[in-house]
Amino acid sequence: MLRGLVRRYGRKGVNRIYVAKLVDPENNSGSPFLYGYWPEDHSIWLVGHLQQWFEDRRDATDYAWLKYKMRTDLRKDVVPTVEDIGWSSYLVDRPWTRRIIHACLTRGRKITIYRTRR
Protein backbone atom coordinates (compact mmCIF):
# COMPACT_ATOMS: atom_id res chain seq x y z
CA MET A 1 0.00 0.00 0.00
CA LEU A 2 2.70 2.47 0.96
CA ARG A 3 4.62 1.64 -2.22
CA GLY A 4 1.56 2.59 -4.26
CA LEU A 5 1.32 5.92 -2.48
CA VAL A 6 5.01 6.65 -3.01
CA ARG A 7 4.79 5.64 -6.67
CA ARG A 8 1.91 8.06 -7.24
CA TYR A 9 2.73 10.95 -4.91
CA GLY A 10 6.41 10.68 -4.03
CA ARG A 11 8.58 13.46 -5.42
CA LYS A 12 11.94 12.15 -4.23
CA GLY A 13 13.77 8.99 -5.22
CA VAL A 14 14.10 7.84 -1.60
CA ASN A 15 11.13 8.14 0.75
CA ARG A 16 11.08 7.35 4.46
CA ILE A 17 7.85 6.66 6.27
CA TYR A 18 7.95 6.28 10.06
CA VAL A 19 5.03 4.15 11.22
CA ALA A 20 3.91 3.97 14.85
CA LYS A 21 0.89 2.63 16.72
CA LEU A 22 -0.36 5.34 19.08
CA VAL A 23 -3.24 5.89 21.42
CA ASP A 24 -4.35 9.45 20.75
CA PRO A 25 -5.41 11.08 24.04
CA GLU A 26 -7.89 13.23 22.11
CA ASN A 27 -9.65 10.10 20.82
CA ASN A 28 -12.31 9.09 23.34
CA SER A 29 -12.34 5.43 22.29
CA GLY A 30 -8.84 4.77 23.60
CA SER A 31 -8.17 2.59 20.56
CA PRO A 32 -4.72 2.75 19.02
CA PHE A 33 -4.23 4.15 15.54
CA LEU A 34 -1.43 3.39 13.13
CA TYR A 35 0.09 6.67 11.96
CA GLY A 36 2.74 7.22 9.30
CA TYR A 37 4.93 10.31 9.19
CA TRP A 38 6.30 10.88 5.66
CA PRO A 39 8.83 13.76 5.82
CA GLU A 40 9.45 13.95 2.07
CA ASP A 41 5.70 14.41 1.48
CA HIS A 42 5.31 16.79 4.44
CA SER A 43 2.43 14.66 5.69
CA ILE A 44 0.96 12.37 8.31
CA TRP A 45 -1.15 9.43 7.14
CA LEU A 46 -3.69 7.28 8.98
CA VAL A 47 -1.90 4.16 7.83
CA GLY A 48 -4.14 1.76 9.74
CA HIS A 49 -7.09 2.75 7.55
CA LEU A 50 -5.34 2.30 4.22
CA GLN A 51 -6.70 -0.62 2.23
CA GLN A 52 -5.58 -1.81 -1.14
CA TRP A 53 -8.22 -3.13 -3.57
CA PHE A 54 -7.72 -5.53 -6.44
CA GLU A 55 -9.89 -6.41 -9.44
CA ASP A 56 -8.74 -9.24 -11.68
CA ARG A 57 -5.40 -9.23 -9.83
CA ARG A 58 -4.81 -5.59 -10.79
CA ASP A 59 -4.50 -2.76 -8.30
CA ALA A 60 -7.83 -0.91 -8.32
CA THR A 61 -7.18 1.22 -5.24
CA ASP A 62 -8.58 4.74 -5.31
CA TYR A 63 -5.37 6.47 -4.24
CA ALA A 64 -6.80 9.94 -4.82
CA TRP A 65 -9.61 9.25 -2.34
CA LEU A 66 -7.12 7.85 0.20
CA LYS A 67 -4.94 10.93 -0.17
CA TYR A 68 -7.97 13.15 0.38
CA LYS A 69 -9.32 11.22 3.39
CA MET A 70 -6.28 9.72 5.15
CA ARG A 71 -3.60 12.41 4.73
CA THR A 72 -2.79 15.48 6.78
CA ASP A 73 -0.80 18.00 4.77
CA LEU A 74 1.63 19.57 7.25
CA ARG A 75 1.89 22.73 5.15
CA LYS A 76 -1.84 23.46 4.82
CA ASP A 77 -3.83 21.48 7.39
CA VAL A 78 -2.11 22.54 10.64
CA VAL A 79 -3.26 25.46 12.78
CA PRO A 80 -1.58 26.84 15.94
CA THR A 81 -4.15 25.78 18.57
CA VAL A 82 -7.15 23.52 18.99
CA GLU A 83 -9.33 26.66 19.19
CA ASP A 84 -8.22 27.57 15.66
CA ILE A 85 -9.68 24.33 14.30
CA GLY A 86 -13.22 25.63 14.77
CA TRP A 87 -15.78 23.48 12.96
CA SER A 88 -13.27 22.02 10.52
CA SER A 89 -13.27 18.28 10.05
CA TYR A 90 -9.75 18.08 8.61
CA LEU A 91 -7.58 20.68 10.39
CA VAL A 92 -5.29 19.61 13.24
CA ASP A 93 -3.47 21.65 15.86
CA ARG A 94 0.30 22.05 16.02
CA PRO A 95 0.72 20.33 19.45
CA TRP A 96 -1.10 17.23 18.15
CA THR A 97 1.08 17.22 15.04
CA ARG A 98 4.25 17.48 17.11
CA ARG A 99 3.16 14.56 19.33
CA ILE A 100 2.45 12.33 16.35
CA ILE A 101 5.71 13.18 14.55
CA HIS A 102 7.77 12.76 17.72
CA ALA A 103 6.21 9.36 18.46
CA CYS A 104 6.69 8.17 14.87
CA LEU A 105 10.35 9.24 14.86
CA THR A 106 11.23 7.88 18.30
CA ARG A 107 9.03 4.78 18.64
CA GLY A 108 8.03 4.03 15.08
CA ARG A 109 9.37 1.69 12.46
CA LYS A 110 11.25 3.34 9.61
CA ILE A 111 10.22 2.08 6.19
CA THR A 112 12.34 3.19 3.22
CA ILE A 113 10.67 3.05 -0.18
CA TYR A 114 12.43 3.82 -3.44
CA ARG A 115 10.15 5.53 -5.91
CA THR A 116 9.74 3.80 -9.24
CA ARG A 117 8.19 5.16 -12.39
CA ARG A 118 4.47 5.76 -12.36
Average pLDDT, the chain: 86
Q: Check pLDDT > 90 for residue 15.
A: yes
Query: Do residues 44 and 105 make contact, with C-beta atoms less than 8 angstroms apart?
Result: no
Please state the domain extents for the chain: 2-112
- pLDDT number for residue 67: 81
Q: What are phi and psi for residue 80, nearest 5 degrees?
A: -60, -45
Q: Who contacts 43 (Cβ-Cβ below 8 Å, separation ≥6)? A: 37, 71, 72, 73, 74
31 Cβ neighbours under 8 A, 6+ residues apart: 23
Which of 52-56, 98-102, 112-116 shows the lowest per-residue confidence on average (mean pLDDT)? Answer: 52-56
pLDDT, tens digit, 9 for 90 and up, residues 76-106: 999 999 999 999 988 999 999 999 999 999 9
